[in-house]
Structure 1
């Protein structure tokens, strides 16, 4: 890669960001001067602390009968996380899954993942937003990543039984502040970020968040570019009412990369850098355009209403040449080529009322609401089935592009649902609370298979109950237990062209929550069990049809501890033991194997640990941070129906950060400090994602 070209790109981008900053500061100064001329007293600015989170209610962590892990911006920065996959490595309850050649986020929470043919769903400020296409989620506009574990269907509805992930975005404040950050790293990786917020009047504030990244890779021939922009505006209509609008735009160009393969069941026979696709395919292009509006009104100190609307349009398009499953013959592996054109829209509306009321001498904290969503999944794909394509795995020669395409997929799936929910947490005593909740869902799925010129439609109604109990033994300790039922719609069709009944699950957990060190350190210890029915398995890989015949269960223990353990010394520790297995035997036509009962679920380690320590020091009167951490991932099932296993791994990272002035700071980081070979996930022994070798990154930040 031409470093001179990258230098010019970075210089140009820096100039653009600096110009934007100067214009904004000048405008803010002119506005401030104008106000001071017209008013005798200076304006007192007040920061927006943050809008109330949807579905969350007014509960302290010790009062909540479920396990939750909140990864704030400081923890994300200390971990060097710039995308959602890296952020979720901080939670040992989350395991990486097949990421569709690096083009979407896929993860299992407490052992369970969603539809393997769609990205894992996540929430943004309580809105369902993860489904669809558009690339891996960048964290440039994200303040906090919440891992909300356990049964949540009574409020969130149609989600995963192990829990859900919620992203809390950066929103405007009424204090002018900003940051420009430029970084450079291994493999010709360059990135620039900007974050600027300011008031434009006494009632209105804006925020501009954006990034640009131009990156090479340790993978041969792989280069990518990503950019995004997330402006938002907050309007304090009155002392009781606030309106917030947020826009999300992102564009990514990333080559489709299935990773490496094992030879005779053995990984490491070819370099981790070896790319077995076709550089001539070019990148897949992913686009996201989203809008989110929230209106919050406080009727009084007890009652509040929240109304929100979200619309998200995503797309993914491009060619990809992928390794096949016929095995290696004469040091060659077969390949096939596909063209994909995927589009999805997601529309969500929600309204909820929260408040406190006393009935028969008992205090009730209520959440009552309604939501609706519509998900349209439009998929078109071509595949070459006639051209014989092979590539030598030890000495690849690129340049052969198949062109004899036929249509493989051409369908439009629409999922619509309407939900009504209620949750009541009742204080039986000053220390004992019970939680009762239920959700009613009316769900409809329509499938229009344009390839076979057939249509199908199904409707379902479901009630998802939730129960919980929490006892605050002291101001620093509580014990809890909870139970919930859940359902999740399933995409795709069976061999008859019909849809499926939703995936069903039950989930239970119990745990202890505690604070130490005068509240500076918080911890949760939980045990859990999850059971699922109607899991999708492949019925006909040629026609892309499925059968909902799988059953599985997951059980285990989790320990999460984070906070300050001594003066200036912070700890982040997350450990999970997860035993996730199939409950019944079934035939998986994807690879022609019978999956026996008791088989480990794919890519789910039995043990996982994330650990991080950061010490804040002082050097020459300035703040100096030094920190490090590790991620341990146990061995995992790497290929259903076989004994192929991904090996366990431990990777270590370290960083130092120094505040040169009040405005300028420097940071240096190294990932995979001991340069270990490791593999993060797989779909089969020919699609295995290798981890990044030792890499470095330096960055400079200017705060104003």
Structure 2
């Protein structure tokens, strides 16, 4: 179990309980003060993230373009000034369809492939995994094996390609940054109720209150529960996140936030679709009685900044994060046909039955991180320099306990299922390790304004790291250290204000042959594969505004290489030898657009074409030239919204993913799919109501080998804003 940063009772669950009280007390102040409290306030020069709105225009709720993003440079910058692809998603647009799952929300983003993963998010960017160590919340790494709620997320920023220059270790495909809702001086409050298919119902409370010109508080809370279209599957999510912002208007600014997040579910981890005999409905679930998974997140974050003057500021972000995942369930399984054979041709002794596997696991992750950034602008040699200099420190502790067996008593007839497996008693784990890691980094970035049309972005980072791994069963222990340098260079040319042409080079690293900082063997005879695995990307593109700035597009071409991949050529006879296995390469083109096409017509979406292949594989030469698993050649989405004057509006969207190979040998393939979604809405301040239909044509498809897509479903949401 994970601790809650406090003592017992309410204070333990919500250590900022006093903040909740402050919100309620502040809300109880006389109504006559409301107009004075909500009047425009002097805008601080500190690190306040502006609201998502149309560039240079009054806020338009149907236009999803942000004025600026922070993920790509750690400074608030207009997308056109960034020499790298950045996609943004406004979460509320997806919440209308009942989407709370991060991977489902990212489905259709050009170059991003998603699949169902019971234990994590199942996200790949430009051919490479991005769900274990490349998901961030407000710029802080969300490490660990866990599913997370998006109930407190305002928008999602996806940075395509290597990002080690700012964030350290990375798988290299890109970074996903969740920008959370936090106390602001310009945010409104709202209450939302929703209900729909499969007994899906829930509600969100979002109260933002300006206490005085220097203090704002916010409380965001969400609860939902639902059954699945698959029999026996259900979930319950709860999230509470209070925050406070203090702005002295003299240069000092502080934001404190705590997030309490629980995701509980009966897991849907059935057999792969190619293991099922004909006639099994996609609505058939395979959970045994007592199966469960529970994810817990407890995040405490402090963001303190000081403006020395209008040009220079210092920012210190500290975070303490505890995440845990406990599960006990039967899963997957192999079908034995009437002839006593599996799909692989092996002999089996349970004709007509699926033999499920069984596992229980208890995993906790504790991460403490500190980031200190100095940002400023100065003139040097007749050119303006926007500088960023930073220090990073993080400490991670991971403690997994696992017991699993393929020889379980979970036998199920998929055509006439009866779930009566006798659950094994939880005894001693078969695996239990304690991993500790420390990392230190120094980085510098300079955006040089060479002229009114040319900009040069330079960056470099040095990381040093050490770790210790202890086998808790045998008490064997080992440790090691390493370091890496990550460069970055980009050029932006803006011949006219409407168009920005750019090119860039980025490099990233993943320590110890790509295994990250944690989980390396404690075998005293094993050789540490100390060389990092690297990724490097060359990208070129153009970002443009059209129709007097009402519509924005971005076009990018890239080559992303994953190299210095390590392997053991003879692990049995020579376990001390590691060699370079080879290289993998992803090449592609991506195009996206967002904004207003014509009066009352809005659009958001894009398309990606990708070829991700094995270039060199000395361990399995037959794989050379094969496509990387779980990477689609084509994917994208397009949502068109019609919002004329008046209360009513509507939206129609299409999401497409082409077929994907599910193994390195390219012998099995997951079929592609095209899904249509639609929405009709009514809004008359302060009310807004939407009725959304997901999978409008009731298309039957598979998100992953073991998870079919949701059939046609409806969700009604009603919001009152104040």
Smaller-chain TM-score bracket: 0.7 to 0.9
Give the CA deviation at 1:47: 8.1
Residue of 576, 588, 603 corresponding to 2:608: 576
Q: Are residues 27 and 308 of structure 1, via their aligned partners in 2, closer, same or farther at CA, if it must alter by over 3 Å?
A: closer
- Aligned 1:157-236 pairs, distance under 5 A: 157-174=168-185, 177-236=188-247
- Aligned 1:460-539 pairs, distance under 5 A: 460-489=482-511, 490=515, 491-494=518-521, 500-501=529-530, 502-535=532-565
CA contact (8 A) 1:124 1:168 kept: yes
- Rounded to whole Å, the distance in 1 between the matches of 2:651 and 2:38 is 41
> What residue is the counterpart of 1:147 in the other structure?
158
- Rounded to whole Å, the distance in 1 between the matches of 2:551 and 2:411 is 56
- Rounded to whole Å, the distance in 1 between the matches of 2:438 and 2:183 is 32
Does 2:462 correspond to 1:454?
no
Give the CA deviation at 1:249: 0.6
Give the CA deviation at 1:80: 5.1
Give the CA deviation at 1:401: 2.5
Q: 2:80 is paired with a residue of what secondary structure?
A: helix
Deviates more, 1:47-56 or 1:173-182: 47-56
- Aligned 1:24-173 pairs, distance under 5 A: 27-30=26-29, 44-46=39-41, 51=48, 53=70, 55-73=73-91, 75-77=93-95, 81-97=99-115, 99=117, 101=118, 103-114=119-130, 119=132, 121-129=134-142, 131-135=143-147, 137-173=148-184
CA contact (8 A) 1:445 1:499 kept: no
Query: Number of residue pairs matched?
Result: 655
- Rounded to whole Å, the distance in 2 between the matches of 1:214 and 1:383 is 29
CA contact (8 A) 2:498 2:546 kept: yes
Q: Are residues 540 and 261 of structure 1, via their aligned partners in 2, closer, same or farther at CA, if it must alter by over 3 Å?
A: farther
> What residue is the counterpart of 1:249 in the other structure?
260
Q: Are residues 604 and 386 of structure 1, via their aligned partners in 2, closer, same or farther at CA, if it must alter by over 3 Å?
A: closer
Q: 2:129 is paired with a residue of what secondary structure?
A: coil
- Rounded to whole Å, the distance in 1 between the matches of 2:577 and 2:237 is 34
Give the CA deviation at 1:497: 5.4
Q: Are residues 87 and 48 of structure 1, via their aligned partners in 2, closer, same or farther at CA, if it must alter by over 3 Å?
A: farther
> What residue is the counterpart of 1:311 in the other structure?
320
Q: Are residues 23 and 379 of structure 1, via their aligned partners in 2, closer, same or farther at CA, if it must alter by over 3 Å?
A: closer
> What residue is the counterpart of 2:599 in the other structure?
567
Residue of 260, 263, 273 corresponding to 2:283: 273
Q: 2:430 is paired with a residue of what secondary structure?
A: strand
- Rounded to whole Å, the distance in 2 between the matches of 1:508 and 1:492 is 31
CA contact (8 A) 1:625 1:658 kept: yes
CA contact (8 A) 1:133 1:286 kept: no
Q: Deviations over 1:245-271 (max 9, x none)?
A: 01111112112222342347x886521
- Rounded to whole Å, the distance in 2 between the matches of 1:186 and 1:307 is 45
Does 2:657 correspond to 1:606?
no
Q: Deviations over 1:219-249 (max 9, x none)?
A: 1101111100111100113331110001111
Q: 2:429 is paired with a residue of what secondary structure?
A: strand
5+ long unaligned stretches in structure 2: 1-18, 50-69, 336-341
- Rounded to whole Å, the distance in 2 between the matches of 1:320 and 1:58 is 45
CA contact (8 A) 1:587 1:595 kept: no
Q: Are residues 359 and 79 of structure 1, via their aligned partners in 2, closer, same or farther at CA, if it must alter by over 3 Å?
A: farther
Give the CA deviation at 1:57: 2.5
Does 2:398 correspond to 1:377?
yes
Q: 1:478 is paired with a residue of what secondary structure?
A: strand
Does 2:675 correspond to 1:651?
yes
- Rounded to whole Å, the distance in 2 between the matches of 1:79 and 1:48 is 35
Q: Deviations over 1:190-219 (max 9, x none)?
A: 111111100223311100111101110011
> What residue is the counterpart of 2:359 in the other structure?
338
Give the CA deviation at 1:133: 3.8
CA contact (8 A) 1:558 1:577 kept: yes
> What residue is the counterpart of 2:5 in the other structure?
none
Give the CA deviation at 1:595: 6.1
CA contact (8 A) 2:581 2:619 kept: no
- Rounded to whole Å, the distance in 2 between the matches of 1:465 and 1:473 is 27
Deviates more, 1:287-296 or 1:404-413: 404-413
The structure in which a higher percent of residues are strand is 1
CA contact (8 A) 1:493 1:546 kept: no
Task: Give the RMSD, CA atoms, in angstroms.
Answer: 3.0
> What residue is the counterpart of 2:330 in the other structure?
321
CA contact (8 A) 1:384 1:406 kept: no
Does 2:588 correspond to 1:556?
yes
TM-score, structure 1 normalization: 0.87
Q: Are residues 98 and 492 of structure 1, via their aligned partners in 2, closer, same or farther at CA, if it must alter by over 3 Å?
A: farther
- Rounded to whole Å, the distance in 1 between the matches of 2:582 and 2:473 is 27
CA contact (8 A) 1:263 1:269 kept: no
- Rounded to whole Å, the distance in 2 between the matches of 1:320 and 1:189 is 23
Residue of 654, 676, 686 corresponding to 1:663: 686
> What residue is the counterpart of 1:358 in the other structure?
379
Give the CA deviation at 1:649: 0.2
- Rounded to whole Å, the distance in 2 between the matches of 1:47 and 1:383 is 59
Give the CA deviation at 1:640: 3.2
Give the CA deviation at 1:81: 3.6
Q: 1:584 is paired with a residue of what secondary structure?
A: strand
> What residue is the counterpart of 1:685 in the other structure?
none
Q: Are residues 30 and 262 of structure 1, via their aligned partners in 2, closer, same or farther at CA, if it must alter by over 3 Å?
A: closer
- Rounded to whole Å, the distance in 1 between the matches of 2:389 and 2:203 is 43
Q: Deviations over 1:265-324 (max 9, x none)?
A: x8865211222341x233211111001110121111211211100111011112111234
